[in-house]
Amino acid sequence: MPFYRQEAEAVLLFLTRRTLDGEVALELTAETFAQAWRGWERVRVDSSEEMRAWLFTIARRQLSHYFRRGQAQRAAVRRLGIRTPSVHEDDLAAIEDAAGLGEVRHGLAIELAHLSDEQREAVQLRVVEEMPYEEVARRLGVSEPAARARVSRALRALQSSLASASVADGGLS
Amino acid sequence: MSHRFRALEDLEAELTRVIAARAHGDAGRPGLAQRLTRARRGSRLWLAIPGIALLLVTTTIALAATGVILNGAAVSPSGSQSPVAGAGLPLPGQSRLLALRVPDPSGGPPWGMRVVHTTRGLVCVQIGRVQDGQLGELGIDGAYHDDGRFHPVGPGVLPTYAGGASEGGVTSERGSCVLANGDVTGNGEAWGSAVAAEFGGVDENAAFALEGHPGTVAHPGSPGPQAHPGPAVHRRDITYGILGPHAVSVTYREGGALRTQQVVPGVGAYLIVQLASSNSVPEGHGEAPGTDTPGEGPGTTGVLTSISYEHDGKICENGYNARTGGKVKIQHPCPAPNPYPADLRVTPPGSFVRRPTVALEVSHHAVTAAVFSFSAPFAVTSAAEGYSLWSKPCRGGREGGGVAVLDRNVAKGATVHLTLQDPFSPRCTGRSISVEVLYQSSGPDAKRSYGRTPGELLIGTATVRLPRGDRAARPPRPARR
């Protein structure tokens, strides 16, 4: 799968920078490539640039869905029977390091002040303190889906500031 | 070349495995008329009576060639149906076979669509072949003993609906159902209910009834389903939906060209039937990307490229470039669908809080189920309301956990029983589980608890301990890779 080998890392890092979460980004990456495979026959592209643009359009839609609904869309992954691999802790650290999340997280500290108290706490726990969602939910006294939804909405609110963060995106912001 | 991250290598291996397992195709099979004839010829009954067989085979050839097929037995609803459970029953006078007719690439009865309103507040959309004003399925490719007949599917044969106030609705083998009044965003009120679904790589016989084996059905009296996924040339990619009263047209890809179909006025129905693409595999039903929210544009991987709506007296459009997948510059883009309202009313904890009682079902010291009972603080009068129960998983969400959903109406104050199967997982080290009971609602009067997703009201919690001497019944699930 040369196309996957060529683009998978770029997609994963693109999504990691925007979700600030390597595990969520891997879920979105899996759905992106599953949808790309299903739609492959229907899209006419002449160049690798067009193909890449199409792929990232799918990735952006996954982001949009995630920010809107608080969870990754898994329609194509489910229908194809793909098991999204789990991420080893070391691998997760490497992904988030490659995505430059340390720098983004630093910038976030300033932007967090603009969020509501409940959103700030959710982002603080999940993104800054890197707690698993189960623990975030326990700390907030809400269900895990509710915690995920709160974090994703807070991140959507931060989206504009993230877009202006000085993180290279390979020209695909 | 290897990936820098192990997770991407694992994902590549998984994608390769799935694609290799599903990739297959075929060509050069006979046309529909011949297959209907062969199906009939293959029926053991007719083989036993050669004279009748010859007569009927000849008749079938003539009828199939003219597009008319003998009727077979009508499809019956599976299981017991109730006006207050599952999808409910069709409301009298509210089932409509739309005038929409779409020819099949191989001929035969055209495809059509039926819209059914049910007693539980659902709008269900069903598709199939149409003959004599009836929706139905064809007895070929393993369906109906290959009898070569047309089997009507009456409006009482509804899609399965497991229950719960699922705002996204459900698509199953008999079609798609959504809540008639839309979701908590108010999109339903603003734009009308929307269904967007597809059947990928299914057989042209329209007998989608057996999940996992598209194009086949379980015959009465047969030992089990017959798996005939069928060759690619006889499979179809079908995209359909209803987009609400504001929709005007849809544009879609067919071969290398773009085509536009005017939707059925009033409901915004569209139906596209195409030969399955070469990489389309039998995968059955599912949601179509993108258009599950009224007013939203299509996804980038489906067959649709744009949707036109009439909004405030003007035509607006949502879509993307079919060539590149990129967004197109639209002169009059439609307004975005409503997001969840941030100020959706929060219901503070009050008299509705319940403490459910729990009874464990134990067999040979293995706990097989936990039954939670509580009095309903709110009535459930349609599929837009419901109760559900969630147990928290362990090991980072990968093990344990379970859901039970009420699939029927209940009166306020009535006792609700929700059964959680295999409540304890042997892969979880803890000897107790935490359970939340939620009341879910949708539409303009949706309720929510503080910090909850709109529509979710927490009405009770419970902790269930594994009794000393008993164990979890659930067999270990394979760990995620």
Tell me the average pLDDT across B35-44: 56
A17, A167 contact by CB (below 8 A): yes
B300, B343, B459: which to substitute to probe chain A, counting the most A Cβ within 10 Å?
B300
pLDDT for the residue numbered A60: 84
Q: Is B8 touching A (CB cutoff 8 A)?
A: yes
Q: What share of chain B is helix, strand, coil (3-state, %, to 5)?
A: 15, 35, 50
Backbone φ and ψ of A18, nearest 5°: -90, -25
pLDDT for the residue numbered A125: 81
A67, A159 contact by CB (below 8 A): yes
* Chain A hits for B283, Cβ within 8 Å: 79-80
Q: For A40-64, write each residue's pLDDT tens digit.
A: 766 666 777 888 888 888 888 888 7
A59, A13 contact by CB (below 8 A): no
Please list the alpha-helical segments (H only) found in A70-143.
75-80, 89-98, 101-111, 117-123, 133-140
Tell me the average pLDDT across A123-128: 78
Backbone φ and ψ of A97, nearest 5°: -70, -45
Predicted confidence band at B146 (pLDDT cuts at 50, 70, 90)? confident
Are residues B5 and A86, on separate chains, in Cβ contact within 8 Å? no
Of A102-111, B46-55, B65-74, minimum mean pLDDT range:
B46-55
Of A100-114, B219-233, B325-339, minimum mean pLDDT range:
B219-233
Are residues B6 and A141, on separate chains, in Cβ contact within 8 Å? no
Compute the count of residue pairs across chains A and B with CB atoms less than 8 Å apart.
165
pLDDT for the residue numbered A166: 39
Q: Whole-prediction pTM value? A: 0.66
Closest alpha carbon within chain A to B289: A75
* Chain B hits for A10, Cβ within 8 Å: none
Q: For B242-267, write each residue's pLDDT tens digit.
A: 888 888 999 888 877 889 999 999 88
Nearest by CB: A79 against B5, B286, B303:
B286
